[in-house]
Amino acid sequence: MSAYMGAAVLLYLQELIDWDSYFSWRKGESSDVEVDRAALQEVLETAAQICSEMEPALRAGWYECAKLEGDEVVYPPHIKETLDKLRDAGLISFGVEEQYDGFELPSFVANVILQMVSRADAGLMTILGLQAGVAEDIQKFGSEELKRAYLPRFASGEVMGAMDLTEPQAGSDLGAIQTRATKDGERYFIDGDKIFITNGGCEIHLVLARDGDTYDQSKGTTKGLTLYLVPRTLPSGERNGVSVTRLEEKLGIHGSPTAAIHFERAEGFLVGNEGEGFKAMLSLMNNARLGVAAQGVGIAEAALSVALQYARDRVQFGRAIAEQPLMKDRLAKMTLELEGSRALLYRACALVDQNHAIENALARERELSASERVELEALFERNDTRIRLLTPLAKYMGTEAADSITRDAIQIHGGLGFMAESEVGKLHSDAIITTIYEGTSEIQVSFALKEIGRGALTVVFEALEQELKTFEDPKLKAQADKVLEGMNLILGAAGSLLADFNYALMSAQSLAEVVASVIAGAELLKQAKADPRRFDLAASWISRRMVDLESRCKRIKEGSVDRLDRASAIIALND
Ligand X SMILES: Cc1cc2nc3c(=O)[nH]c(=O)nc-3n(C[C@H](O)[C@H](O)[C@H](O)COP(=O)(O)OP(=O)(O)OC[C@H]3O[C@@H](n4cnc5c(N)ncnc54)[C@H](O)[C@@H]3O)c2cc1C
Please choose, out of 183-191, 442-450, 473-481, 541-549, the segment that lies near ligand X by the rule CB under 6 A. Answer: 442-450
Residues making up the chain, counted from first to last: 575
Q: Which of 402, 406, 432, 400 is nearest to 509 (CA)?
A: 400
Supply the minimum distance, in Å, between the C-beta of residue 392 and ligand X.
13
Q: Rounded to the nearest whole angstrom, what is the least distance from the CB of residue 163 to ligand X in the complex?
A: 5
Using CB under 6 A as the criterion, what x/- string covers residues 111-150 for binding ligand X? Answer: ----------------------------------------
Segment interacting with ligand X (CB under 6 A) among 224-232, 418-426, 431-439, 566-574: 431-439
Instruction: Please list, residue by residue across 296-319, b when 16 or more beta carbons sit within 10 angstroms of its beta carbon and e when fewer do.
Output: bbbbbbbbbebbbebbeeeeeeee
HSE (side-chain half, CA atoms, 13 Å) at 555: 15
**Residue 203 interacts with ligand X (CB under 6 A): yes or no:** no
Q: Which stretch binds ligand X (CB under 6 A): 2-10, 158-166, 323-331, 376-384?
A: 158-166
- Does an H or E element contain 417, and which? none
Residue closer to ligand X by CB (options 171, 241) is 171
Which range, of 37-45, 64-72, 348-356, 433-441, touches ligand X by CB under 6 A?
A: 433-441
Asked if 442 is part of the footprint of ligand X (rule: CB under 6 A), the reply reads yes
Within 509-568, which residues bind ligand X (CB under 6 A)?
A: none
Q: Check residue 69 and give left, alpha or beta (phi > 0: left; psi -120 to 50: alpha).
A: beta
Residue 3 or residue 561: which is nearer to ligand X going by CB?
A: 561
436 binds ligand X (CB under 6 A): yes
Of 319-327, 338-346, 429-437, 459-467, the window that binds ligand X (rule: CB under 6 A) is: 429-437
User: Is the CB of 308 or the CB of 436 nearer to ligand X?
Assistant: 436
Q: Select 202 or 361, whichever has its Cβ closest to ligand X.
A: 202
**SS3 at position 382:** helix
Is 434 an interacting residue with respect to ligand X (CB under 6 A)? no
CA distance 167 to 174: 9
Q: Which of residues 159-188 bind ligand X (CB under 6 A)?
A: 162-166, 171-172
Question: Position 530: which residue type?
Answer: A
- Please state the φ and ψ torsions of residue 299, each to the nearest 5 degrees: -65, -45
| 481, 410 contact by CB (below 8 A) | no
> What distance in Å separates the CA atoms of residue 240 and residue 571, rounded to the nearest whole number?
50
Report the residue from 83, 303, 350, 433 that binds ligand X according to the rule CB under 6 A: 433
Distance CA 337, CA 407 (A): 13
Round to whole Å and give the CA distance between 528 and 402.
23
We find the least distance from the C-beta atom of residue 242 to ligand X, in angstroms, to be 14
Q: Is 198 in the site for ligand X (CB under 6 A)?
A: yes
Instruction: Compare residues 139 and 295 and give the one whose CB is closer to ligand X.
Output: 295
Q: How far is CA 186 from the centre of its chain?
A: 36
Segment interacting with ligand X (CB under 6 A) among 77-85, 141-149, 192-200, 557-565: 192-200
Instruction: For the CB of residue 395, give the shortest distance to ligand X in the complex, in Å.
Output: 12
260: left (phi > 0), else alpha (psi -120 to 50), else beta? beta
Nearer to ligand X, 441 or 527 (CB): 441
Considering the rule CB under 6 A, would residue 258 count as an interface residue with ligand X?
Answer: yes
Q: What contacts 146, CB < 8 A, 6 or more positions away?
A: 138, 229, 269, 271
Q: Give the binding range for ligand X (CB under 6 A) out of 195-203, 416-424, 453-461, 468-476.
A: 195-203
| Residue number of the CB atom closest to ligand X | 171
Return d(Cα 136, Cα 142) in angstroms, integer. Answer: 9
Interface size with ligand X, residues (CB under 6 A): 20
Please report the beta strands in 132-253, taking only residues with DSSP state E, as ranges in sequence order: 161-164, 180-184, 187-198, 204-211, 225-231, 242-247
CA quadruple 109, 114, 120, 121: dihedral, nearest 10: 170
**Binding region for ligand X (CB under 6 A) out of 34-42, 430-438, 461-469, 555-563:** 430-438
Subset of residues 7 to 66 that bind ligand X, contact rule: CB under 6 A: none
CA distance 111 to 345: 9
User: Least distance from C-beta 469 to ligand X, angstroms?
Assistant: 37
Which residues of the chain form contacts with ligand X (CB under 6 A)?
162-166, 171-172, 196-198, 250, 258, 433, 436-437, 439-440, 442-443, 446
